[in-house]
Amino acid sequence: MMKRMMAAIAFLGVSMASFAQETVPVQKYSVATNSFWSNWFIQIGGDYNAWYSNQEHGLGLDNGKHYSLFAKQRRTFGGSIAVGKWFSPGLGMRTKLQVGNAKKMGIADVSSLKFWTINEQILFNMSNLLCGYNPNRVWNVTTFVGGGVSRNESISLYAMLLSAGINSSWKLSRHVDLYTELGWNRMEEDFDGYDGYNNRSKHHGYGWEDKDNHLYAELGLTFKLGKSGWNKTPDTDALKAMTQSQIDDLNNKIKNASDEGDRLRKELAEAPKEEVKQELLSAYISIPVLNNIAQTLETLLSKQLTGIYYGALGVDMMIVANGSRGDVGFKLHPLVEINLRRTMGHVALSLSNKKSFQHKMMRIDNDGSHYHLHILNKDR
């Protein structure tokens, strides 16, 4: 009975959990705030670099059809590393370091220089901002803007810069993404050591051709540290709009489970007591004899087991007929076996819901050559 009662209570718990998971709506663009140590990441990548210097003003990206954007005279390679954090699914920040070589495009020649840049950039995950947060999304598009400082190692020159670009990433696993990135670093006009003095009359101090420009394409990996996802928040407005039928259905499930629990508890309370057993045995052994033996066993076993054993205990006895001597009646063997456990007979009786099983006895007879097992009813 107790087993079935626990099963009913467990079923109620599962039903309520399933109901909650299926019907509780969440907001599309709202998530719960994570701790400061959540949603950090590291990016490592390799760059293809191309420079367009301010002294090339008026020549275009092909340098007057001498050097295209992908010509070997213009391209160089480098690397980058970045550390950042997402403050929400749509907004984050990173610090990015890029190191590499550059090729300064003069009017008549090409020369190389070594450089590094460090940027502080604000990240906008456009996929989450426009389509809502989806932890199972494979492809994300992120734009970024920022600013920082760059150093020309060849001539020991620093320059301020602005940066912008777009990042496209693909989810490889829970904590690793593959990404490609196109970016633009806009330096001060004197970064490469040639300030375009001869063209100053045509410059306005701003714009594409008035500054040194670092263009790059990057391929790399993003490693997410710790917790990388977000928990969506319940939509309270939608919860308030739940139909009355849904609420009634949940109340009915709770009531049905409660009724089943009451029924099982009633059956348990109505289980046979010791008085029923004594009534069955009184046809063979007097009740005072049984009580005296029970008290004696309790006294003896208490002395032996106190402080050693605590739990269920059973004593097997046997009622034996006096027929071997021609006497009438029965005798009791008071101690056949001691069981420091709940006997299987009690377990079987407690699990059975058929009361007819509670009012029977087992008898073994011997006809001189064989033993015979009989199940006797209470009234026999």
Crossing angle for the helix pair 274-281 and 287-305, nearest 10 degrees? 130
pLDDT lower than 70: segments of the chain: 1-29, 58, 61, 106-108, 189, 194-209, 235-236, 238-244, 267-274, 323-328, 346, 349-359, 377-380
CB burial of 33-60 (b: ≥16 within 10 Å; e: otherwise) equals ebeeebbbbebebebebbbbbbbbbebe
**pLDDT tens by residue, 309-349:** 877 788 888 888 776 555 667 888 888 888 888 777 767 76
**pLDDT tens by residue, 45-54:** 999 998 888 7
CB burial of 237-270 (b: ≥16 within 10 Å; e: otherwise) equals eeeeeeeeeeeeebeeeeeebeebbeebeeeeee
d(CA 86, CA 32): 13
The architecture (CATH level 2) of 27-233 comes to Beta Barrel (2.40)
d(CA 61, CA 177): 32
pLDDT of residue 59: 72
pLDDT of residue 99: 96
pLDDT of residue 243: 66
pLDDT of residue 355: 56
**pLDDT tens by residue, 283-314:** 788 888 888 888 898 898 888 888 888 777 88
pLDDT of residue 312: 78
Extents of the domains making up the chain = 2-25+235-269, 27-233, 274-377
pLDDT of residue 162: 95
